[in-house]
A and B are shown apart, each in its own frame.
Chain A
């Protein structure tokens, strides 16, 4: 992460969003909104003094609500950039005008309550989409697991925060309800994945392995700890994966093949009801905590950014690759490439490989001095164009605009509007040609008379 921030060729816009994009392969213009941070990053040294005295405390998004943060905060100690932002909604000074302790404390006068969102534009030649994933909201779908009303039923990502040394518990596995160390932990796989009725039909790919890791951490970190893994299948396709799973079994993780039908409290513990389909009998396990391996879904806002950049998404909202086998990092939009879980559920090794693949595609493009464009694109016969503009909204690539031309009518020079096709943007789909009433638009390689000739030749 630090390598990214320090690289002389990388310009990092943190706390920023892409809000506008125009242009085409090799020539995009992008508008970036830098959200107000209320901290001047040129002055801020990242000392962290401001955070210590901030009186507002709210649940930390980074710790998924398991820990707290202040209104002025860094998400975590190793954050990059290692400088805080002020969360305006929870800042007393910004909400009520009273407080400003951080401003008084800051030794370099970096706090600026007058800060505003800023908009910058940049010119780029290629785009890599790497917007990642979010976790399926199981609380809305799985009533049998308590709709999220039992605090000790958590997701795998919550568990990651619990075992992380820089997490809210300092790496100690403590259950959220009372902070007790759980003796027995149940893991449920495929929550939202491979479940047409309540969730998604696809497999989320990474869960089998991280659940194996979590189960191993329970038996290793908690003296006498028991881990029960409820699974449909164990899928370990990856180098070293099967061995890793076997290791978790050898260390004592107990795998039970069956779907959990209900979780309910008994005393301060939770009862997990399932069937062991290998012996064909119902089974009940009493545990202290339940960890759900929830499905990966596209990150919030993925659909909007796809629309903004101008490429398509698949039925589940993941970004559509140009070809599942042969063009896995390309999109149908020239110059836009995909990396990571935004294209589909993926684990870290696959994500890194795909990111490097996308990088090579970008570099291959940027290494050229100029770009050859496919000549099989639409063209306008200006003498026929009536300037009706019917084609302009039809074009899915925003390649058609109107331009004024001067013509002579009855000996007088008059100016009128005609359509113009941008050679970089036009993808040669021909939708405008079919829509053009005066037949002024035509498509190189697929002209009207060519297709009619084909029809005639076939029907001979």
Chain B
């Protein structure tokens, strides 16, 4: 059986005022594979992340579920916390009980039940996660700029100034684009060429 830790964030009152975080954690304790569950005021804070680290050691956790805000917001934060706790950062799942629960529902019982369902879903998923490794690919240190108007020229010059090679492709016989056709330009009324 896997050993999963579940951490339920209250996000101050953002989650805590609608979702009963303690009840979610308590219910999670009985989910298959869960070895530890708790709730905390701010999981993304330093003490919150330390909580994961400590629990990982004390309870010999393999996998972690954090129920807090959107993974689009803090997934990377917690992946880093996983690494810091000596766990594989991909043995992690995030449950969105803020944007998808507490901010859009007002009935506390319904919201708490939804949060529990979502945590159960994440636990079922995380026990099937495999440890993944980041791989590396080489980079050709040269840039291509398509279009030699003001945008392309500025980008090409800025990149070139940092010492990188730039290839600038312009379909007309001359660079300058539309801007070369203009007279003085606002608001300074200086010459555009």
Which residues of A does B touch, CB under 8 Å?
A: 1, 3-5, 7-18, 26-28, 30, 32, 37, 62, 64, 73-76, 78-81, 84-85, 122-133, 157, 160-161, 163-165, 167, 171, 209-210, 212-213, 217, 238-241, 243-244, 299, 301, 305, 309, 339-342, 348, 351-352, 354-356, 358-360, 362-363, 365-376, 423-424, 444-445, 447, 449-451, 453-454, 456-458, 460
Contacts and interface: CB of A to CB of B under 8 A. Distances in A.
B173 A75 contact: yes
Interface string B110-128: 0000000100111111011
A131 B168 CA distance: 11
15 contacts: A1-B153, A4-B153, A4-B168, A7-B160, A10-B167, A14-B170, A15-B171, A27-B139, A32-B167, A64-B181, A122-B144, A132-B147, A132-B178, A212-B186, A356-B155
Contact of A1 (B147, B158, B193): B193
Contacts of A84: 173
Contact of A26 (B128, B138, B147, B187): B138
A363 B155 contact: no
B183 A163 contact: yes
B154 A359 contact: yes
Q: Number of contact residues on B: which range applies? A: 35 or more
Interface in B149-193: 149-189, 192-193
B145 A130 contact: yes
Contact of A16 (B169, B179, B181): B169
Q: Considering residues B141, B159, B177, B180, which has the most beta carbons from chain A within 10 angstroms of its beta carbon?
A: B159
Interface of B: 90, 117, 120-125, 127-130, 132-189, 192-193
A37 B174 CA distance: 12
A424 B149 CA distance: 31
B147 A366 contact: no
B147 A124 contact: no
B137 to A, nearest CB: 5
Nearest to B153: A4
Given A26-B138, A164-B182, A450-B128, A11 B165 contact: yes
Nearest to B140: A125
Nearest to B163: A9
A376 B130 CA distance: 10
Q: Which 6 A-B pairs have the closest CB atoms?
A: A340-B151, A130-B152, A359-B158, A355-B154, A130-B147, A79-B174
Nearest to B158: A359
A342 B178 CA distance: 12
A164 B151 CA distance: 21
B158 to A, nearest CB: 3
A123 B142 contact: yes
